[in-house]
């Protein structure tokens, strides 16, 4: 999926919804972004064994998905970045793809085999797709 911004298009509406900022464009483009703080290194309601796996010489703790404030008409392009980290050395990676209503499932990847139980990390998400 590729997006070309129409220089003649202007924002249709811009607003905040919880932690998200949403911008709808007149040409049908929809973008939203947020900083989300994950406080646990596993998805609530699942065992740690389900959320923690060995990737070669690294380990990943599954952090979870974040609900978009609006539903896209198709799966958006979603970029992500590690914005803040209280848990030592690590990086963020996608464990499974996102959909029209949720970000991809992200994991915190690091060289040690411990869960993020005492601290957390902040992930920045930016999704671009279509609202019409």
pLDDT at 90: 76
d(CA 102, CA 125) in angstroms, rounded, equals: 11
Distances (CA, A) of 18 to 35, 55, 60, 91: 11, 34, 28, 25
Element (H, E) at 100: none
Fold of 11-130: Immunoglobulin-like (2.60.40)
pLDDT in tens, the chain (132 residues): 445 555 556 778 899 999 999 999 999 999 999 999 887 665 555 555 556 677 788 878 778 899 999 999 999 999 999 886 666 667 788 878 999 999 998 888 877 766 555 557 889 999 999 998
pLDDT at 73: 97
Mention every residue, 6+ apart, whose C-beta is less than 8 A from residue 62. 41, 42, 43, 50, 51, 52, 53, 95, 105, 106, 107
Domain boundaries, the chain: 11-130
């Amino acid at each position: 999926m590729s997006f070309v911004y129409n220089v003649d298009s202007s924002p249709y509406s811009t607003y905040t919804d919880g932690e998200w900022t949403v911008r709808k464009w007149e040409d049908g483009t929809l973008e939203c972004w947020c900083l989300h703080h994950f406080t646990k290194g596993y998805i609530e309601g699942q065992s740690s064994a389900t959320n923690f796996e060995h990737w070669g010489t690294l380990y990943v703790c599954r952090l979870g998905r974040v609900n978009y404030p609006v539903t896209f008409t198709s799966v958006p392009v979603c970029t992500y970045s590690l914005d803040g980290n209280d848990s030592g050395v690590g990086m963020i990676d996608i464990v499974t793809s996102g959909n029209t209503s949720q970000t991809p499932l992200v994991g915190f990847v690091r060289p040690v085999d411990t869960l993020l139980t005492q601290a957390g990390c902040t992930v920045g998400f930016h999704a671009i797709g279509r609202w019409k």
